[in-house]
Amino acid sequence: MKRRKDVAQIKKDIAWNTKELFAQKGYAATSMEEICTVNNRSKGSIYYHFKSKEELFMYLIKLSYEEWIASWHAKEEQYTTSIEKLYGLADHYVDDMENPLHNAINEFVSGQSISAEMMEEMLAIIRIPYTTCKNIIIQGMEQRELKKQNPDDLMYIINSLLNGLSTLYYELEFTEIRRLYRAGIATILSGIQNTYEKN
C-alpha cells in the first residue's frame, strides 16, 4: 500500500515539476530531455510513470482541473445565493486565465492529433467543472431564485458562455474580460431568474 502511494506521489511530483517548463516553452517545444533535467531523472524513470510526453501533459491538465475545483470550493463558501455563485464562478474562470499553463493547454488541444481514447479522456477532464455549475443551478431552482427548467440545458449554456469568452484572452485586458463575463451572466440571468419575491 505504501509503495502505491509513493508511486502516485512521484507521478504528481514529475507533473508539477514540468508545469513551469510547459508554461514557458509550450507543449510542442518541450523535449523529454528537458523534462528529465527538471526532474533530475532518467528517461527510463520518466517512462516508467508515463508512456509518453502526451500522457504526462494530460495528467498535468487533470491535476490542474482538480486544483481549479478545489480552489473554487474554497471561494464558494463566501457566496450565499446561487446568483452570487454564478457571478463568482464567472470571476473564477477569468482568474484561471492567469494560469501559466493556459497557452500550453490551448496549444495541446488545438494542435494535437490524438487517439479516440485520449480524446475521451480529454473530454472527461473538460467536463469536470460541469457538475459545479449544475449544482449551483439546481440550488437556485430549489431556493426559487431561478425558474424551473432543465438544469442540464442551463449548465451547457452557461458553460458554453464561460468557455467561449475565454478566447478574449488574446484580445482584451483582464478588467474588460471580467466585465464581459459578468455581463454574460447578467444576460442569462435576465431570462432565468425569478423576478417575484420568494414566499
pLDDT per residue over 4-25, tens digit each? 558 889 999 999 999 989 999 9
Fold of 57-192: Tetracycline Repressor; domain 2 (1.10.357)
Q: In the structure, what pLDDT confidence band is assigned to residue 125 with cuts at 50, 70 and 90? A: confident
Question: In degrees to the nearest 10, what's the CA dihedral of 30, 33, 36, 37?
Answer: -90
For residue 95, the model assigns a pLDDT of: 92
**Of all residues in the chain, what percent carry a pLDDT higher than 90?**
66
The predicted model scores a pTM of 0.84
For residue 199, the model assigns a pLDDT of: 45
Q: At what angle do helices 174-192 and 151-164 cross, to 10 degrees?
A: 160
